[in-house]
A and B are shown apart, each in its own frame.
Chain A
Amino acid sequence: MYELINVDKKFPGVHALKSVDFKIGRGEIVGLVGENGAGKSTLMKVIYGAHQPDGGDITIDGTKVRFQNPRQAMDHGIGMVFQEQSLITNLTVMENIFLGFEQQFVSYGVINWKAMAEAARKQLAKVKLDIDPGTTTSKLSFAQRQLVELAKVLTLEERIDGDLVILLDEPTSVLAKEEVELLFSLVRELTKRASFIFVSHRMDEVLDLSDRIYVMKDGEVVDVVAHDDANVDAIQHKMVGRDVDKEYYREQKQKPYQVEAKPLVAFQNVTATGKYSDISFDLRPGEVLCLVGTEGSGREAILRTIFGLETPSAGAVSIKGVPVSKFNAQVGVANGVGYIPRERKVEGIVAGMSVYENMTLSQMGNYANSGVLRIGEEKTLARRWIDRLAIKTPDVYKDCGGLSGGNQQKVVLAKWRSAGSDIILLDHPTRGLDIGAKEDVYDMVREMSDDGVGIILVADTLEEAIGLSHTIIVLKDGNAQKRFDCSPGDKPSLYDLVHHMI
């Protein structure tokens, strides 16, 4: 009944959805899987009206529709249960359920709380949640809140005529195993009332719950599998798909790292409560160490610990043999750690400052006499690195915010490399870059390696992780699952990694 036909969506520099066909029938549960960046969330956003497609049609029961915003989609029976919980915690359960739709309980400008509580109780009964609708939401457990969110979406049933489609975005990520089972049995029961689209990183759950599964990769639906034909390995194969081009990741340029050398960074049973636990590894000169895991598996937190933005609660971190006792970014920079953050425009560059100002930002002391800058030398340095990394900018005065993503990334790299950082932390260094710019980044990774720089990488895709790294540590829920050696020609396969990730 709900159908997307040939839906296309482009963002500047990214073709996020390539002529996607998607169909969901009455009372059906459809699973949606794919790697990060495969286009799942864009597809979801198109479905619930947050994005408008550039091409193709959306039809409900054969009638063409077009949603300008989520509210319009809701009026057509499409509701979203958000991954990051969207309830306002200091409101009561019933206020949350009817947020924005209080009008039905208003007479003479006053809300009839009794009527609202009664109506809320009816919604809560649908999800079998026996709580007082007047409870403040912050007092509920995460599982209960998830059900309240579901109840909130189910109010659509009374509000609109026609069928409901409910999107569940990673609904199980914060739930315990029993809670997940409870949710699933509930969802199965609710198929009498609505159809569901279910997105999860946990393959077994998707297989368990869904009637059909859409597999996405690079903005395309690469396969649709029926529940009975589904097979984890086959789906994973489709998800990560295409053969990896060794040339692309500069594998031939990968040289062995200095195994015997003193480690640049050493983690011994390091824990940061709530982020990761009991992590140990050594990073040696010339090594590219890749942390692989899903979102929230602790990868980023480990990077931030090394740089000094996150203080661990237990264990010992040492940099170049010296134990780190104080964790802040000044110490990190002084220790020669350079951080290339994922949020390039927020943490990487300062938009509004010129190319040369950005390059010396972490090392102004090297270009100043008692606080007075030697601006001429700064510009010379900037020109040298603009040439060396082939940064496309009209001159050193250009506002960094006006450069393309790839060139911004080069400026950030130049900032650390020119300051002599020999521990480089790369957090999604190729995110949002086009292919040419990605290859430039890969070249730079190899060059830095050759210079004896130790690199810790959180890659954008698994292929990238495998292609670039000497060592891979797979993380899941903050724990190290497995360590792989990745010498050229003897790299683990995607399936080896995925197997330990989910």
Chain B
Amino acid sequence: MSFERIKPHLPWITLLVLVLVVGAADSNFLRPSNLISMAADIVPLFIMALGMTFAIYIGGIDLSAQSVANMTTVVATIALPTFGIGAALICILAGVVLGGVSGFVTTRLFVPSFISTLAVGGIAFSAAQYMSGQRALFMDASLRDSTFGWMTGSLAGIPSELFIAAALVLGAWFLQSRTTFGRALKAVGAGEPAAVASGLNVNRIKIMAFALSGGLAAIAGLLFAVKLSGGSPTLANGFLLPAIVAVLVGGTPLTGGVGGVINTLIGTLIVAVIRSSMLYFEVDATQQQMVFGLILIVAIALTIDRTKLRVVK
């Protein structure tokens, strides 16, 4: 059994091993209530990672996701009193537009996505600072509960966030595996020249992938704002690295074309387990990004398809 054959199964094996190891060390870990609350906590990160999956699936990356989510927390808080539920639409629209801009810059101006999304992220972050006056803003509690209470409540003992996450992952999975758009994404990720030579509108597909990533980052921000009942330009800081880690350890390599949203679901769960095990092993919060940074390096080195790379810069 060669490594190449095991590779597609590595993510869930890793998850299983981690759960067993942490479960053996910490007897509380495997209690259903703990598992459910752990899963609910990770939902905003999962939604961001879900969006990121589309950007990485086509062989790009979306470094603006965290800033877009930051901006959304501010936009949601400001828009809530005036627009009510419409605030959600405004947020998603803003995310889609910013993602679309990244896509446009990447495909039409030939700027690699890691730079175009970094720049768009800078714009989003600055917009958040400007709109918030660099202060943390708070939502009116009653208004929040009447408008977005359904996001944070629970049904039959299961937090609503998990239903939201399930709906989004089902939708994303359908998009990826059952639609022409999903098939085109795969073709662009796995073999862009052949996709061009088959007459696909590759630029449009890429722009849509980035728009989708932006839109999902915005939903992540919205949910986060509702959970924390407020917004600030730094609220979602610390999300970017774990989101990328979730996609990569899930088995969608930076070179794109394989993996997908289900992989990201597994990857996010791996991140969740690592995160809660760090609490158990008393890793200081300030050190967590170090761990994620190291995992990211290992995950990239393991998953990347070197035959697709000629020169690494």
Contact = CB atoms under 8 A, between A and B. Distances in A.
B200 A361 contact: yes
Contacts of B199: 329-330, 332-334, 362
A110 interface: no
B195 interface: yes
A372 B176 CA distance: 10
A278 interface: no
A343 B192 CA distance: 13
A364 B201 CA distance: 12
A341 interface: yes
Contacts of A332: 199
Interface stretch (A3-11, A238-246, A313-321, A350-358): A350-358
Name the interface size band of chain B. Answer: 20 to 34
Contacts of A296: none
Interface string A316-347: 00000000000001101110000101010011
A376 to B, nearest CB: 12
A364 B197 CA distance: 14
Contacts of B200: 329-330, 361-362
Contact of B181 (A329, A351, A353, A371): A371
B191 interface: yes
B286 interface: no
B228 to A, nearest CB: 36
Interface string B164-177: 00000000000000
B82 interface: no
A372 B186 CA distance: 15
A224 B184 CA distance: 54
A329 B180 contact: no
A90 to B, nearest CB: 16
Contacts of B194: 346-350, 361
Given A371-B179, A371-B180, A353 B187 contact: yes
Contacts of B184: 364
B32 interface: no
B303 to A, nearest CB: 14
Interface residues on A, range: 20 to 34
Given A362-B199, A373-B183, A352 B193 contact: no
A365 interface: yes
A332 B193 CA distance: 15
Contacts of B258: 352
Contacts of B197: 307, 309, 329, 339, 341, 347-348
**Residue of A334, A361, A372 most packed against chain B (CB within 10 A):** A361
Contacts of A284: none
Interface in A181-211: none
A348 B197 CA distance: 7
Contacts of B191: 346, 349-353
Interface in B142-183: 178-181, 183
Contacts of A372: 178-180
A-B complex: 3 closest residue pairs judged by Cβ atoms:
A333-B199, A350-B191, A352-B190
Given A330-B201, A371-B179, 18 more contacts: A309-B196, A309-B197, A329-B196, A329-B198, A329-B199, A346-B193, A346-B194, A348-B194, A349-B191, A350-B191, A353-B186, A357-B186, A357-B187, A361-B183, A368-B179, A372-B178, A372-B179, A373-B178
Interface of B: 178-181, 183-184, 186-187, 190-191, 193-201, 257-258
20 contacts: A307-B197, A309-B196, A309-B197, A332-B199, A333-B198, A339-B197, A346-B193, A349-B191, A350-B190, A351-B191, A352-B191, A353-B191, A361-B187, A361-B195, A361-B198, A364-B180, A364-B184, A371-B180, A371-B181, A415-B198
